[in-house]
């Protein structure tokens, strides 16, 4: 409980909103999970490990950016 307050300041603003840094970290952690899922599905569909890794590599870059903007849009929408 003592340590959570300083850490919370990194992720939540004084007004209680999530900071951009928190949204960025959430997008990275979610993409790790999502990319592993994409690579596993791609492997089952294609039967080729190299193809699965290629698909996962392309997908991870685009979806990190998409998730970040999606998260920020939700933060603004829930402010109102």
pLDDT (tens digit, 9 = 90+) per residue, 29-73? 888 898 999 999 999 999 999 999 999 998 888 887 888 888 889
Q: Which pLDDT belongs to residue 7?
A: 65
Residues 6+ apart with CB under 8 A from 58: none
pTM of the model: 0.59
Closest CA to 18 of 80, 60, 74: 74
Angle at 27 (CA atoms; ends 18, 47), nearest 5 degrees = 165
């Amino acid at each position: 409980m003592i340590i959570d307050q300083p850490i919370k300041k990194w992720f939540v603003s004084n007004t209680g909103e999530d900071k951009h840094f928190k949204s960025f970290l959430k997008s990275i952690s979610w993409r790790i999970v999502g990319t592993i899922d994409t690579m596993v599905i791609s492997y089952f569909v294609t039967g080729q490990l190299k193809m699965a890794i290629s698909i996962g590599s392309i997908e991870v870059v685009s979806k990190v950016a998409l998730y970040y903007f999606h998260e920020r849009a939700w933060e603004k929408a829930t402010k109102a």
